[in-house]
Structure 1
């Protein structure tokens, strides 16, 4: 849905340096190497501050601890390193961290507490006006016929993401190429009609409903998370209450 593009736009509007990295680039099979790479990444971001530091697919880097995902020891060390970099002894110093994920429920709740990822932004698929503008961008250099109605296409392409719309325009162009033997004067509405039939939205109504429920639950879970440590509800017995009754 354009999460990476949105992060780039934030950096451009803020006139800040932009560092983008995938979670897989930070994970290593060698003991302690993942933590060192994370520390080096944050040190580099501080050196060139102001910086927007963008980590894509962050759920694979900082999954919730204690759920048996991945190697528990490695996961806990990586999560603790990220937490220490975000609000440890060394301040962020004009470094803004943005993480993107399609599975926010898998992210460790400790990262969603105030002072870390303060804002949770749900990036939905574009609305009708947004789809119309995206179609206009992708068809700006395409010789489209006068009968092509971008407003009608945008209306019918419900739940299409930016990538889906780009694929739709590409398909229409390919159908026109095949019809005219490689010499295309214009791409007409019939080519877009065929492209609409042969393409589909990558986001389903069920997915949208799931994300809307998840959006409300995430903040509540973050506020209920236990402080960093090894004490969980039920582990401690209130001996004082049982002995003294106060």
Structure 2
């Protein structure tokens, strides 16, 4: 996007990664910031693009770990160059990051990075257009529908879709085929989602039977419940870490999920474990990932989405915003032990 802006503007383009600023030697990062802006000013009008700016623009700590470390000095110099005392006319600064939540608030103030463009995962129309671009130089069979492929790949990024068609081309080439068929693309989707097929993994007949009943349990529950996504595919071919999987796909793009849909999703996740208990009366470890996903959904329903009737629409547990914990692992308990006990009861109930 930054290159496109520079190309349309017909001005010099300076690109650098955020990690290139940070060095073990004190003052090197700040010096590189000054040099970069100096070159841009000499060539103005110009565009500076900093990729992965969170490497240098991460939120500063309140004295933790030392307030004058190299990264913070570099960030301070960047802030000065952006709107300091010296005139900075004719230079536009652009940056990209996958973690806007960890950026220092000073970077996002008016006059700095106050205009934010969110490049989200493509929707159905976007995926179809991306597939057309990557399919233009590939021998796709005439009966292959790119729109159907787009419907089967919700959540895929542009890179994922490009990889999907490349994998399909490789699969077709291995079979000495002249065109890429629907089967090649189906196998490619499986490969991208779950990993390559493990032909060397030999399962016993008993294990195959258990896996078959397990996946059938997922499929039957998903088929029976009114708010579950339609079942698209069931397989017991080992891929990656999975011995088999059941894929359910929505009929259309969804941006909101109701409580009824989440409850049906929970039921479908536990369907494999229940099938093992009903048929064999001795559940296996095969449901560990299902239990992990179900627990996370139930936790969010109770603690974040306010879907528990007894506990009400409240948020339980807040992030500590400790930058040195990555803001992902720091979470404080802002409720009593009695409430914690109630939370666990409601979580188990779901």
TM over 0.5: yes
2:46 — aligned with what?
51
2:188 to 183, 191, 195: 195
Q: Given the superposition, is the C-alpha separation of residues 70 and 16 from structure 1 closer, same or farther in structure 2, using an over 3 Å criterion?
A: farther
Deviations 1:154-205 (A, max 9, x none): 122111111000110011001101112xxx411111111111122139xxxx
Q: Which runs of 5+ in 1 are unaligned?
A: 1-5, 202-207, 210-246
Cα distance, 1:16 vs structure 2: 2.5
Question: In the alignment, what sits opposite 2:153?
Answer: 157
Q: Does 1:21 align with 2:10?
A: no
Q: For the residues of structure 2 that align with 1:85 and 1:134, how far apart are their CA atoms?
A: 38
Distance (whole Å) between structure 1 residues aligned to residue 120 and residue 65 of structure 2? 29
Pairs aligned (count): 195
Conserved in 2, the CA contact under 8 Å of 1:65 and 1:75?
no
Partner of 1:168: 164
2:85 alignment partner in structure 1: 89
Displacement of 1:70 in angstroms is 6.7
Supply the RMSD in Å over aligned alpha carbons: 2.0
Residue 67 of structure 1: how far off its partner (Å): 5.2
Q: Structure 2: which 5+ residue stretches go unaligned? A: 195-254, 257-350
Q: Write out aligned runs for 1:51-90 (5 A).
A: 51-66=46-61, 72-73=67-68, 74-90=70-86
1:109-128 → structure 2 map (5 Å cutoff)? 109-128=105-124
Alignment TM-score, normalising by the size of structure 2: 0.53
- Contact 1:23-1:55 within 8 A present in 2 as well: yes
Q: How does 1:232-243 map to 2 (within 5 A)?
A: none
Q: Is the Cα–Cα contact under 8 Å of residues 35 and 77 in structure 1 kept in the other structure?
A: yes
**Structure 2 residue 126 is matched with structure 1 residue 130:** yes
Report the counterpart of residue 262 of structure 2 in structure 1: none
Pair member with larger Rg: 2
CA 1:176–1:68: 2 relative to 1, 3 Å: farther
Return the alpha-carbon distance in structure 1 between the equivalents of residues 64 and 180 of structure 2: 49
- After alignment, is 125-134 or 80-89 more displaced? 125-134
In the superposition, relative to structure 1, how do residues 154 and 93 fare at CA in structure 2: closer, same or farther (>3 Å)? same
- Offset of 1:143 from its aligned partner? 1.0
- Judging changes above 3 Å, is the alpha-carbon distance between structure 1 residues 70 and 151 closer, same or farther for their aligned structure 2 residues? farther
